[in-house]
Amino acid sequence: MAASSQTVADGLRHLFGRLHAAIPAQGSPETMFTTWQRVVGADSTDNLAIVERIGLFSAAVQKLEAQINASRDLDATMKSAALATVSSLKVFFRVDMFHTQVFQYKGYCSPEVCGRIGMIGLSLRDEFSEPRLLKSIADEISSLLTEVSSKLEDRGMPLDLRLNLRRHIRAMQWWLANFELASVQDLIETMGSAIVISKQIEQRSASDDTQTEASRSVSTKIANAATILGRLVGLVPKIVEGADKLTTDGQHLIDAFHSTGVPHP
């Protein structure tokens, strides 16, 4: 499962390449948000979820800026040029611009700009790299998460936790389907949360024999998916063990909350 490395700039290069291809010709009335919907929200009718995804890419731009500023390999002139390129991308994340006609900003993410982003990534790779997510690995993890999703249809599991876990799974499956854009670090953080939630489902279902097997299956498949992902960065078995400890520690708070008499599904 060896994978080559990438930087946050690599994902952004792919993103803005897609955005450039999606922006219509001059004179089109299409708004910036509509183009964003087509690029990152084709699978969703939830505008808030789409805005959340856009926000994640905005955070990636800010992270790239921070890496450029912190770089020891880039001199002042190189940093200035790199920051100017990255700064020009911010127009796509200004909420007050979402209603404007997007064609006028097509040049802001041209192939030349995307090429410069790629060069920035190459310049930063020795200092700020992470494993590249390969399609074969993404497909393997996605298959496990699809199995988990089907099991979450079981209404015997706690409703609040089912909804929470389903939201995390949907987020991961989108990233896995768009693996060229994905950050392994962001996936690991989301997977860690999913492990904690799956363990809580297992613990809260423990008193019901009819639910124990289903909830244990959910927890096991999430752990298996985390194991595959964790191998990329050498976090196995730490990613699962760490989540187990968080679950144990956090369960005391959950138990205390429910002991106050607040009902839960």
Alpha-carbon distances of 206 from 148, 202, 223, 264, rounded to whole Å: 18, 6, 18, 16
pLDDT at 76: 97
| 230 phi/psi in degrees, rounded to 5 | -65, -30
pTM for the structure as a whole? 0.79
Backbone Cα Rg of the chain: 21
Q: Are 201 and 156 in contact (CB under 8 A)?
A: no
- Rounded to whole angstroms, how far apart are CA atoms 131 and 182? 11
Architecture of domain 135-258: Up-down Bundle (1.20)
Which tens digit of pLDDT belongs to each residue from 207-235? 666 667 778 888 889 999 988 888 877 65
What are the residue ranges spanned by the domains of the chain?
5-131, 135-258
Cβ-based neighbours of 203, under 8 Å, separated by 6 or more = 247, 251
Which tens digit of pLDDT belongs to each residue from 127-175? 998 888 889 999 999 999 999 988 888 777 888 888 999 999 998 999 9
Which tens digit of pLDDT belongs to each residue from 69-109? 999 999 999 999 999 999 999 999 999 999 999 999 999 99
End-to-end Cα distance, the chain = 41
